[in-house]
Each structure stands twice: as structure tokens, then as C-alpha cells.
Chain A
Amino acid sequence: MNFSAETRAACNTAAAKRSYNLQRFLDGWALFYENPVGKLGVFLLACFGVMALISYIPPLIDPMYHPMTGVDPWISNATGPSAKHWLGTDNLGRDLFTQLLTGARIAFMVGISAAFMSIVFGTLIGMIAGYAGRVTDAALMRFADMIMVMPSLLVVLLLASLFGQLNIWIIVLLIALFRWPGVSRVIRSQTLSLKQRPFIDMARVAGASHMRIIFRHILPNVLPMACLYMTFRVTSAIIVEAALAFLGFGDPNTVSWGMMLQWVWKTGHMFQAPYWLLPPGICISLITLSFYLIGRAMEEVLDPRLRKEENFE
């Protein structure tokens, strides 16, 4: 009897909590979606999502459509669009459309995983620096400054020329390692202001450990900001990967848009084959734009000061 009442209460608690969190999310989403900037960003991103998903289909139809190894036996030169190859083929006879679709998949993979890693590093280091203060703070922040001023592209190029071709995941890791300092600065300053809030004192008075204060009290409060920065980091990760690939330091076993551009350039088709050059270029611009737009719209949801004042005349 007693047990069942307790259980019911517990269930109620869980249900109510879920619906509350859902409500908060929906409110934020409504605000986000009202913003034309956010709407456009989501639309673009959805397009690329669809591209990434259907990239699995063409190789199933015919092995000729495999982005890496599929070669059209009838074509031995770069050709323009046709019914068989919607965007044309490269000089080996590989289908450009499937390459473009696969590129979307790679862009998501690189962008999101590099951004996620840099956000995890940045948030952790920012929280620790802000919370610990004094020497730890100074040391971590000077370290962050050092990395921030380091010409990241140059360092990656050096590493690439030292170790030969880099695996795509090594590239992702390198991007993440070079992109956390900006995040950690923002998170640190947020942590500094949170540390002054009385609920942190309350946690200390209750005897909470530093770990508990950082992960239970500070982390949930900085998480929205971290998510926001993640969208911006996705943008920069995609661009860095494209740049690396274009310069010839990409993973030769992966078809990314940067890689496609590199092939155009290396094979001397730069100004002869616009059907080959333009699609990856446009895609890189649009996908970075979409993440950027989403980030801006999110910023407005998260930071009430940026919300436009409602006009009611």
C-alpha cells in the first residue's frame, strides 16, 4: 500500500519533470523558429541532412556510382551533366553527384565530431579554470592563449608533412585540439559569474565537493552556452577540413568536398569544368552558413538581451 503510493509519487515526479523540460524546450523552439534566420538555417541544414542520408543509395543501385572506386567504363574524361551522371563525372569517370552526396556525410561527421570534442575540452577546462581561480586559472588561460595565437593551419600542415597523409579522424582530433580555447574563455567567464551566485555558496555550506559543485551546479548552467558555441565550432571545423583537403593534406581515402576541390585543381580542370568546381564550393559555403544561422538564432533564444523588443503600436 505504502509502497505503491510511493511508486506512484515517483512516477508522477518523473512524468512532470519530463513534461516540464519538454515545455521549456518547446518554448525555446517556438522562439527560435519565429526567427527567419533560424528557419532558413534549419531548412538548409535539413537539405544537407537529406543529402547525407541518400548518399548511401547510389552505390547500391550500381557499383559504378561508388564515390571512390566506381568508375563509368564508358567515360575516360571529365564530362558535363547527363541523364546518367546528373552532375557529370571527374576525369576518371567517377560520378560527381555521389561524391557530392558523400561529401555532405563527411562534412557532418567532421564538423560535428570535431566541434563536440572541442566543446568538451573547452567546457571542462573553462569550468575548472573559472572555478579554481588563482594559479590554475592563470596557467590554463595562458595555455589557452598560446594555442589560440598558434597558426593552427600551419601546425597541421607541418604535422601532415612530417607524418605523410593524415587519417580523417586524426584531422578531426587536431581541429578539436586547436579550437577549444575560445570556448573555454567564454565558459570560464560564465563560471566566474556563476561562482558569485548564492546557490554555489549554498552548495558549499551543504558540504558539496568541488566535483559536485562543478558538475551538478555549474555544468547545467553553462551547457546552453556550450551548445551555442558548438554550432559555431562546427562551421570552423568544416572550413578547416576543407582547407586542409584542398591543400592536399586531407585523407586520400575519404571523399570530402575539400578533396573534390583538390582533385579539380590537381587535374587542371579548375577553369575547364565548372560542373565539377562549383557544386562542392557552393555546398561548403551553404553548410557553414546554415550552422552559423542556427547559431545566431540560438543565441537570441539563450540571451534575452539579444531578443528584439516586441513592438506593439
Chain B
Amino acid sequence: MPDTPAEPMVQIQGIKKTYSEDRSLFARSAQALTAIDGVSLCIEKGEVFGLVGASGSGKTTLGRLLLKLEEIDAGQIRFQGKDISGLKGAALKDFRRRVQLIPQDPYQSLNPYMSIFDTVAEPLIIHGIRSSEARRQKAAQALDAAGLSPAADFFPSYPHQLSGGQRQRAAIARAMVLSPEFVIADEPTSMLDATISFTIFKLLADLRKTQGVTLLFITHDLAAARFLCDRIAVIYKGQIVESGLSEQVINNPGSDYTRALINAQPRFSFVNQ
């Protein structure tokens, strides 16, 4: 623990998000679906924070709200002390440089018509790195760091020529190329095979260590969260039911839902270890 408490990376206070299904012509009363129901969280600088929940629990929505892909209905999200709800223009662009996303589905998250170089270098162009030499160098560094090396071999490839794991590494390179301070990884391995997922987890742990990035890891897999995260919050039906240090949450669950989640994990009791 540092002596002077540093400013948290992200502070979330009582946020709410409801979706109204007013699309239907015949539904008189528009049914509202509450995706996030009063969540408060604090993510410290430099930590890996795990958000664990089942599908439909609101964990992906929370990630989208933090990325400002959608707007909150109530509450406040502060990024590095600043409220993000009113960001516009240059301030929004600056926010976009600092916060990045590692997507869930590497088969859908890369533009099929863009080469890997174009994909990884696009954020650089957007954020005003004019020199193509500098772009090449940064893209190569990012790909190398993401484990796609030699980078130049991957530059001309298109997404469909790569395996799922390679695509996810390219997506990670794209997210990391601007050296962001906060990265949200939304189920980054749910579409990948077990052996590949494990290497991606290790890569994320590496990137955290070498680049000091703060990571929000969204997952349905408690075991993966424990492997990667310093702290864990368990989300259920749009509410945080429990949060704390990973070890504490798993060894000493405080809520019934967390306990049920832990009990449902596969175990190998037949192996004499």
C-alpha cells in the first residue's frame, strides 16, 4: 500500500441503466428492463479488477457504460477524478485514448476488410500520429508485445487468415497500441479453446506487469478471475452482491450467490492430490 492514497482510476457511484422495450407496436405499457441497478465500485490504479457474473447479470452493460458506448441513466462515473458523462470533443477524444476495450469475440471484432496492420494502426491515425514510420514502429511493438512476432509477417494478413487466438492477440495489440491507462477486457477468451485461453490470460497478466495498465476483467468464470485478479466483484441481476480481495471472496464468500457459484465449479475430487 502506498503511503499517500493515489486517486482511483475509476469511481462508480450508484449508476443505473434501464432499457425500455418500446419497439413493439402493440405493447401498450413499455416494459423496462433494469440492466444495472445501483452499482458502486472503485477500481484502483494498477490493479486487475474482476467483474464476475452470469450471462444477463449486467456485467457487459457495465463495461459498455464505462467505455461510454452507452449513457447511464443515474449516478456518476468518474475516470481519474473527472466525471465522464459530459465529455465531448477533445476531452472525449482524450478519454478514448486512455480507455480501451479488449473484445469478447475475436471473430466479430476485427473488420474483415482491414489488414492487421491497418487494424492495429488505426487508433494511431485517429489520435494524430502522422508519420507512417512512427506508426509502423508502434504497431510492430504492440504486435510483438501481444505475442504476434515477427510483426511484419502479420501486417499484411487479414483476420480470416488467422486463428482465433491470433485474432484475439491482434485485438489486444490494437487496444494496447496507444498505451492506454485503463483497459476493459470483456470475456476475452469465451470463444477460444482452453489451451489458447490460458495463453491469453498469461499475456494479460504480462501486459499488466510490463505496461502497468489497470485492467477490468469481465468474466463468467470465477476460476479465471481468481487466476488474474487482485480484487473481485460478483454481479447478479444488475447489483454487486459481493466484492473484495480475490482470495477472500473465494475462500470466504459472504453471499449465498457467490457460495452457489463456487460450489458449481467443476472439481476433481477423484484425483488423489
Decide yes or no whether B127 CB sits under 8 A from chain A. Answer: yes
Q: Are B156 and A207 in contact (CB under 8 A)?
A: no
CA distance A207 to B109 in the complex (A): 15
Q: Residue of B at shortest CB range from A24?
A: B158
Whether A6 pairs with B109 at a CB distance below 8 angstroms is no
- Per-residue interface assignment for chain A, residues 162 to 201, with 1 indicating a CB less than 8 Å from any chain B CB and 0 otherwise: 0000000000000000000000000000000000011101
Are B69's CB and A204's CB within 8 A? yes
Partner of A20, one of B109, B117, B158: B158
Q: Which residue of B lies closest to A200 (CB)?
A: B111
| Chain A positions 1 through 17: 1 when the CB is less than 8 Å from some CB of chain B, otherwise 0 | 00000100110110011
**Cα distance, A212 to B113, chains bound together (Å):** 14
Residues of A within 8 A of B113 (CB): 220-221
A205 close to chain B: CB less than 8 A: yes
A201 and B133 in contact (CB under 8 A), knowing A16-B156, A17-B115, A207-B96?
A: no
Residue with the greatest number of chain B CB neighbours at <10 A, chosen from A17, A206, A216, A217: A206
> Contact between A20 and B108 (Cβ–Cβ < 8 Å)?
no
Given A205-B96, A221-B112, do A12 and B126 touch, yes or no (CB 8 Å)? Answer: no
Residue of A whose beta carbon sits closest to that of B133: A6
Q: Are A212 and B103 in contact (CB under 8 A)?
A: no
Name the contact of B152 in the complex, choosing from A12, A20, A209 (C-beta under 8 A): A12
* A217 cross-chain contacts in B, Cβ below 8 A: 111, 114
**B222 close to chain A: CB less than 8 A:** no
Q: Is A47 an interface residue (CB 8 A)?
A: no
Q: Which residues of B contact A20 (CB under 8 A)?
A: 156, 158
CB nearest to A3 among chain B residues: B133
At the interface, yes or no: B203 with Cβ under 8 Å from chain A? no
Query: Which of A13, A197, A201, A207 gathers most chain B CB within 10 Å?
Result: A207
Question: Which of A17, A199, A208, A220 has a CB less than 8 Å from the CB of B109?
Answer: A199
Cβ-defined contact, A208 with B126, below 8 A? yes
Known: A6-B136, A198-B108. A205 touches B156 (CB 8 A): no
CB-CB under 8 A from B232, the residues of chain A are none
Partner of A205, one of B69, B108, B115: B69
B99 with A205: CB separation less than 8 A: yes
A197 near B108 with CB under 8 A, answer yes
Contact A201 B69 (CB under 8 A): yes
Whether A198 lies near B103 (C-beta < 8 A) is yes
Q: A135 to chain B: which residues have CB within 8 Å?
A: none
For the complex, is A42 an interface residue (Cβ under 8 Å from B)?
Answer: no
Which of B67, B100, B110, B156 meets A199, CB within 8 Å?
A: B110
**Complex: chain B residue closest to A199, CB-CB:** B111
| Contact status A207-B115, CB under 8 Å | no
- Complex CA gap A155/B123 in Å reads 48
A146 within 8 A of B: no
Taking a contact as CB atoms under 8 Å apart, the answer to whether A208 and B156 are in contact is no
A150 to chain B minimum Cβ distance, whole angstroms, is 27
Report, nearest first, the 7 A-B pairs whose CB atoms are least far apart. Answer: A207-B96, A220-B113, A16-B156, A198-B109, A206-B123, A205-B101, A199-B111
A-B contact pairs, 28 of them (CB 8 A): A9-B155, A10-B136, A12-B156, A13-B115, A13-B117, A13-B155, A17-B115, A199-B108, A201-B69, A201-B109, A202-B109, A203-B111, A205-B67, A205-B69, A205-B96, A205-B100, A205-B101, A206-B123, A206-B178, A207-B93, A207-B96, A207-B123, A207-B127, A216-B122, A217-B114, A220-B111, A220-B114, A221-B112
